[in-house]
Structure 1
Amino acid sequence: MKTAERFTDKRVKRELFPLTTFVLFFVMFAVFTTVQMMMIGQVIDYQSLPLGNTVAVFCFWVAAAVGSTVATALTVRHYYQKPLEEVSEAARKVAAGDFSVYLAPRHPMDKTTHLDVLCMDFNKMVEELGSIETLKTDFFSNVSHEIKTPLAVIQNNAELLQQAHLTDAQRQECTAVILQATRRLSNLITNMLKLNKLEKQVIQPLPQPFDVCAQLCDCALQFESVWESKPLDFAADLEDRCTITADAGLLELVWTNLLSNAVKFTPAGGQVRLTQRSDGRTLTVTVADPGCGMDEATQARMFDKFYQGDTSHATEGNGLGLALVRRILELSDGTVTVTSAPGQGSTFTVRLPLTAAGEETPA
């Protein structure tokens, strides 16, 4: 039934072998026969030929033309038309949302043809589309969950505030919880917008020379109240000055997110270490914490959107920080790596060129 449907596709307006193909073969055989006879010195006088011989020659040309047309049609149908129909049917299935479609190559790998390459590229396209669809589904699921949680907190505490018997302390507590939930929701939306703009390259880095050591100090001081209240020990080992040509606003997001994670996962009494070095061409910044660490499975997914390996700190973030870090560094020609093990803390290492692409490194 499916084969019949392919051959009767109403979108096909012209067959590969119409009547003109038969006429072409017929004329070719007539011309070739005449030329061949002329080349051997025998000019055929068709007017003086007996009617039977003329009919025989004509029938020969017809039979040869029909045979050549049929043989060519069968060959092309088997090796080209049928595979193209299979690709067309598979494309319709993919367009309908079926990403399990697979086209098997028709020849071994050492004898691949253009059709085999087409099938392999089609399978790769379907695989990528399936991955995008999965990511989209996961994205909406995660976004819904991340938004629903603070909204539920806001709703519950707003309902409590409507009760008349609450004390002033209880009302202040509900108000504080609502403010915390709204800040979390605002932070989530802000990070989503930033990440979306970075991925679509709406935000382009604007490299300008600046002192990255001063920027690292400013970012660290933002967490002073946090490490004093927890309490934590903060150790910084920075050069006196290091000039880098990059987008200062985007790099500030990198340092802030890495330091925020380090402070969040470091237990009370632990030490967060910030180190910066440069060798004339490359800037290296490391942020280390003695927290819970990560296993290999968590490290493999830590840069995924909304992924949070340690759910005990889920209310303190939304799983977009490291995704932002990686995307910013990709746009800045930098890299980020992590060294971690369960129970042994984590060390994030960022490497960036001191000069933007196309600029000369200062002597």
Structure 2
Amino acid sequence: MRSSFTRIILVSAALYAITCGLFIFFLIQYEASRTVITISVLFAVAAAGIFTGFMLAIRNQMSSILSKLSLTIQSIIDRQGSEWFSVSEDNMLSKLQEQVLKLSGILRMQKQRYKEESEEVKSLISDIAHQLKTPLANLTIYNGLLMDSGLTTDKRQEFTRILLSQTEKLTWLMDNLIKMSRLESGIIMIQTGKHDIGKTVFTAIKQMYPHAERKNVEIQFSGEQSIELQHDVKWTGEAILNVLDNAVKYTDEAGVIKVSIHKYEMFARIDIEDNGKGIPEHELSQIFKRFYRGADAIDTHGVGVGLYLARKIITEQGGYMKVSSEMGKGSMFSIFVPVGDSFSVAPAISDITPLD
């Protein structure tokens, strides 16, 4: 940069000298007076000095600017984020500095996001490996036991049931892992449309009913009105089904699960309340985490994916979930789905109960 600037000064000085020489030559050629020639020469020399000083000042100014820019960039590299140009001045340099600092912030955010994504992938792989380890180990163990020719018929049937249970658990786990990964990676897009949320809830209840019936758990569905709002029927139903499945798992035999819908100005609220064992207060903030299982859930079938998926699905639609619980009395999960501009009251679904 400095050599280029010096070259420009030298070329400009040469052109200026040639111009002055030609001017003096014409003055002598046309026999101008000595005084005029002297004044012209002095003026030319003075102009040359002024021009040279001006160019040198510009060079110094440019060097100062480039030096400050270099310091600014270096401070960004060193993560200091120092400002070398006054931000109170609305000029090109302060604007350039602002853009450079913005770029630095964007790059830092991207780096942090990539780091978090990398940690998330590592965590996911670790969680998946941990979740697959137990059922795969059980399959190997019981498969080996079944190969014992001296095994009694009762034991063989028992081990076969365990193998079937572990296979079902493994299949269920893989299905949910696929759903979870597709949702998180954006492969599956939530597609909302104007649908009756009451019918979506009722469909989920019908799907869960056989599982509840095996435990003699009653599911009661009440709601004065059915609400039409923007939601993805399939995935919202999946979220509700996961919450219902969780309620059935942790409700004792002959228990009751109450499902109700309430409408507000901005949201529709779906309450799923059980009279199970309840959730300890210190676990309430943890239960929506991926693969989280409470201390009392060790003996209950599950891997800790259902509630995580449910909240993920609802959040993707602009909603949210809340939970309240009391030990020994049960828990209530509330799903809030935004009604948006498409809110309207549909014909009521009366006396809907899956036990009839």
Tell me, yes or no, whether TM beats 0.5: yes
Is 1:72 the counterpart of 2:44 in the alignment? no
8 Å contact from structure 1 (residues 213, 239) kept in 2: no
Asked if structure 2 preserves the Cα contact closer than 8 Å seen for 1:281 and 1:361, the reply is no
The AA in structure 2 aligned to 1:155 is T
CA pair 117-353 structure 1, distance change in 2 beyond 3 A: closer
In 1, Cα distance between the equivalents of 2:335 and 2:207? 20
Amino acid in structure 2 at the alignment position of 1:164:
S
Q: Is 1:346 the equivalent of 2:331?
A: yes
Cα gap change, 1:59 to 1:281, in 2 (>3 Å): closer
Displacement of 1:219 in angstroms is 2.7
Name the structure 2 match of 1:321.
306
CA contact (8 A) 2:72 2:83 kept: no
Q: 1:327 to 1:84 in 2, by over 3 A?
A: same
Distance 1:194 1:27, change over 3 A: same
State how far apart, in whole Å, the 2-side matches of 1:333 and 1:263 are.
27
Instruction: Give the structure 1 partner of residue 157 of structure 2.
Output: 172
CA distance in 1, matches of 2:63, 2:182: 53
Q: Matches of 1:106 and 1:342 in 2, distance apart? A: 55
* CA spacing shift, 1:76–1:208, aligned 2, 3 Å: closer
Count of aligned residue pairs for this structure pair: 317
Does 2:281 align with 1:295?
yes
Once the two structures are TM-superposed, the CA of residue 160 in structure 1 deviates from its matched residue by: 0.9
Q: CA RMSD in A?
A: 4.1
Question: Secondary structure of 2:271's match?
Answer: strand
How is 1:4-153 mapped onto 2 (pairs within 5 angstroms)?
A: 17=1, 19-24=3-8, 49=41, 65=55, 68-69=58-59, 72-77=62-67, 79-84=68-73, 103-107=79-83, 113-114=97-98, 115-153=100-138
- Provide the residue aligned with 2:320 in structure 1: 335
Amino acid at match of 1:80: L
TM-score (norm 1): 0.70
Computing the radius of gyration from Cα coordinates, the structure with the larger value is 2
- Which consecutive residues of structure 1, in runs of 5 or more, have no partner in the other structure? 1-16, 36-43, 91-101
Query: Which string of whole-angstrom CA distances, capped at 9 and with x for unpartnered residues, describes residues 228-250 of structure 1?
Result: 55454544323364444533221
Q: Unaligned stretches of 5+ in structure 2?
A: 21-35, 89-96, 347-356
Mapped partners of 1:142, 1:183: distance in 2: 19
- 1:262 maps to 247
Alignment of 1:244-283 (within 5 A): 244-268=229-253, 270-278=255-263, 282-283=267-268
The answer to whether the Cα contact below 8 Å between 1:103 and 1:123 also exists between their aligned partners in 2 is: no
Between the aligned partners of 1:169 and 1:334, the Cα distance in structure 2 is 50
Q: Report the 3-state secondary structure (helix = DSSP H, G, I; strand = E; otherwise coil) of the residue aligned with 2:175.
A: helix
Equivalent residues of 2:271, 2:335 under 8 A apart: yes
Aligned partner letter, 1:216: V
Residues 57 and 240 of structure 1: CA distance in aligned 2, closer, same or farther (over 3 Å): closer
Could you list the per-position Cα deviations for residues 88-128 of structure 1 after superposition, in whole angstroms to 9, with x for gaps in the alignment? Answer: xx6xxxxxxxxxxx7122149x9595244444444333332
C-alpha distance in 2 between matches for 1:347 and 1:176: 33
Equivalent pairs: percent with the same residue? 21
The match for 1:97 is none
For residues 144-179 of structure 1, give each alpha carbon's deviation from its aligned partner in whole angstroms, at most 9, with x where no partner exists. Answer: 111222111111111111111111221222221122
User: Alpha-carbon deviation of 1:29?
Assistant: 8.3
Question: Paired residue for 1:219?
Answer: 204
Structure-2 separation of matches of 1:259 and 1:329: 15
Say whether 1:158 aligns with 2:148: no
